[in-house]
Amino acid sequence: MNRSRRGTLSEKIAICYFVEQGLDVFDSCQDTGPVDIITFNPITGETKCWEVKSENFRLTGPKKGNRISRGRRNIKFTKIMVKFLIK
């Protein structure tokens, strides 16, 4: 599976998870925005911004099998409280 499809699948899995938790979920309509998903808890009124990352592992080299660390996609949005969800 190519990277784009894997990322889209991870986002859809995250959306399903949040809906099962009883949250209202808002998906991003842009490819390059600061967040992927916004969730709203109708009971507490809490809103959270999420950036979804797909988990990747090194395939070759001395660190083969180790998880590859992924940082924030867009550093200029550091004032927004963005939580990471790694699938």
Do residues 78 and 5 touch, judged by C-beta distance below 8 A? no
Contact predicate 83/48, CB 8 Å: yes
pLDDT tens for the chain, 87 residues long, are: 777 788 888 889 999 999 999 999 999 887 777 788 999 999 999 999 888 877 766 778 888 877 666 665 555 555 455 565 555
Domains of the chain, CATH where assigned: 3-86 (3.40.1350.10)
CB 50 within 8 A of CB 13: no
Neighbour order of strands in the sheet with 82-86: 24-27, 37-40, 47-53, 82-86
The one-letter code for the residue type at 73 is R
Contact 31, 10 (CB under 8 A): no
This prediction has a pTM of 0.71
